């Protein structure tokens, strides 16, 4: 059996898809460690992996990062974490390091140790038509000119890394797109834009959906068809006004309308139509299995889960990669996109009615459902990791290459 070391950034959308893979590797008898922020310690421990928390607490990126501040944050975090991470990994002696595509410290650590590495893309893979958030661009140059302090901070951190470590595995700028000889992409090839441009080092393994504990307090038996589900996601706060809009727009169209309020207290929504059920947290996979429509912010994990269930979507992207995801859903006919500032009751109701009334949206969602399920999911990802470790040769450690 082998030892796998997972290393990741402190974002749910990046950690959650890796957890079923970790649990599968543990089930197969491998030793797995996971280096992550303390906030994720419990969910990682539940997989059976050994948790290794970063020193200094929950290191996070800015709440609404720009490409420039994201670059600066990733570079500074890499400088801060590498000494302790390297000490820990040397004690563990992993056979393979699996790191997030936006986790440069994982790639540098693997290079220092001379250990093969795999990159995990929990969004789309980035290429010609799919721009990485940290790819060099005119807006980034303009941002650097407007915020010279942030740009200088990034350059200082990048120089520290270059001077102290083997950084040959890192791109000069594009730190959210760290690639390796094997890159696992957690969606189906059919959903990936420009999929034909990616070589065989990219394996589109599909959504990584493991078992989740059932919530006995959620009244699944009380749901009436058609079930319409709305969730703004757990990271960005939609606020009571938008959630009330969802309730007012969807109630006339649905048997039961389920609204996940996230950070918002359901009581803040005030009186709701009798067929609307508002909860802070909802067992999403179970509800999607019953749903005829999903209104979502367009986070990649939520969209992958909806496509895995074959549910058409109304996507209201708020930031990050969500506009790109929304555009892809619309391109493939599995839903419609709507800008959040345009989401009044009438606009949401008209589009929801169209998605429910025209079979073409359901047909397109079913086609993508079949592609997502055929991709293999977390078991395929575990297979790819085992195969890569079996076929790969161990790189020469950085300190033997004459840095």
pLDDT above 60 for 7: yes
Question: What tens digit of pLDDT does each residue of 74-127 get?
Answer: 999 999 999 999 999 999 999 999 999 999 999 999 999 999 999 999 999 998
Domain topology for 3-206+376-400: Rossmann fold (3.40.50)
CATH 3.40.50.2000 in the chain, residue ranges: 3-206+376-400, 220-374
Question: What tens digit of pLDDT does each residue of 181-227 get?
Answer: 999 999 999 999 999 999 999 999 999 998 777 778 899 999 999 99
Residue 346, burial from CB neighbour count under 10 angstroms (0-12, 13-18, 19+): exposed
HEC string of 77-112 equals HHHHHHHHHHHHHHHHCCCEEEEECCCHHHHHHHHH
- State how beta strands 227-231 and 117-121 pair: unpaired
The neighbouring-strand residues paired with 260 are: 279
Mean pLDDT calculated for residue range 364-384:
97
Question: What tens digit of pLDDT does each residue of 304-331 get?
Answer: 999 999 999 999 998 778 899 999 999 9
| pTM exceeds 0.85 | yes
Cα angle, residue 40 at apex, residues 38 and 41 outer, rounded to 5°:
65
Identify the helix (H) or strand (E) that includes residue 322: helix 322-331
Distance of alpha carbon 108 from alpha carbon 116, whole angstroms: 11
Give the pLDDT score at 252.
97
Identify the helix (H) or strand (E) that includes residue 249: helix 239-250
- Roughly what angle, to the nearest 10 degrees, separates helices 300-309 and 322-331? 30
Distance of alpha carbon 277 from alpha carbon 257, whole angstroms: 6
Report DSSP state, residue 121: E
pLDDT above 50 for 128: yes
CA distances from 215 to 210, 219, 282 (A): 15, 9, 8
For residue 134, give the nearest of 211, 51, 69, 187 by alpha carbon: 69
Q: Does domain 220-374 have CATH number 3.90.45.10?
A: no
> Residue 393: which pLDDT band, with cuts at 50, 70 and 90?
very low
pLDDT above 70 for 289: yes
């Amino acid at each position: 059996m082998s030892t796998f070391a997972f290393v990741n950034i402190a974002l749910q959308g990046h950690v959650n898809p890796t957890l079923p893979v970790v649990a599968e590797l543990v089930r197969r008898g491998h030793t797995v460690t996971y280096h992550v922020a303390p906030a994720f310690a419990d969910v990682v421990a539940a997989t059976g992996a050994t948790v290794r928390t970063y020193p200094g607490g929950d290191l996070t990126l800015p709440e609404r990062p720009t490409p420039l501040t994201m670059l600066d944050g990733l570079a500074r975090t890499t400088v801060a974490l590498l000494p302790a991470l390297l000490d820990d990994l040397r004690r563990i002696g992993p056979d393979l390091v699996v790191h997030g595509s936006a986790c440069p410290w994982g790639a540098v650590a693997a290079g220092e140790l001379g250990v093969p590495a795999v990159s995990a893309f929990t969004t789309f893979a980035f290429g010609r038509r799919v721009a990485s958030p940290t790819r060099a661009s005119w807006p980034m140059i303009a941002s650097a000119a407007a915020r010279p302090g942030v740009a200088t901070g990034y350059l200082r951190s990048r120089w520290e890394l270059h001077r102290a470590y083997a950084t040959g595995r890192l791109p000069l700028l594009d730190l959210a797109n760290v690639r390796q000889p094997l890159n696992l992409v957690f969606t189906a090839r059919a959903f990936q834009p420009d999929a034909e441009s990616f070589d065989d080092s990219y394996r589109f393994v599909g959504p990584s959906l493991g078992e989740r504990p059932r919530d006995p307090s959620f009244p699944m038996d009380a749901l009436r068809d058609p079930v319409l589900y709305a969730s703004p996601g757990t990271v960005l706060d939609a606020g009571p006004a938008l959630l009330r809009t969802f309730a007012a727009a969807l109630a006339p169209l649905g048997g039961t309308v389920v609204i996940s309020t996230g950070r918002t207290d359901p009581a803040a929504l005030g009186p709701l139509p009798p067929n609307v059920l508002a909860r802070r947290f909802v067992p999403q996979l179970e509800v999607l299995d019953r749903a005829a429509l999903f209104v979502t912010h367009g986070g990649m994990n939520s969209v992958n889960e909806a496509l895995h269930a074959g549910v058409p979507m109304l996507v209201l992207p708020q930031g990050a990669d969500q506009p790109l995801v929304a555009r892809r859903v619309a391109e493939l006919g599995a839903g419609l996109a709507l800008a959040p500032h345009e989401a009044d009751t009438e606009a949401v109701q008209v589009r929801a009615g169209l998605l429910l009334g025209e079979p073409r949206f359901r047909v397109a969602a079913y086609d993508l459902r079949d592609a997502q399920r055929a991709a293999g999911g977390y078991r395929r990802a575990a297979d790819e990791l085992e195969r890569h470790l079996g076929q790969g040769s161990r790189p020469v450690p950085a300190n033997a290459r004459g840095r």
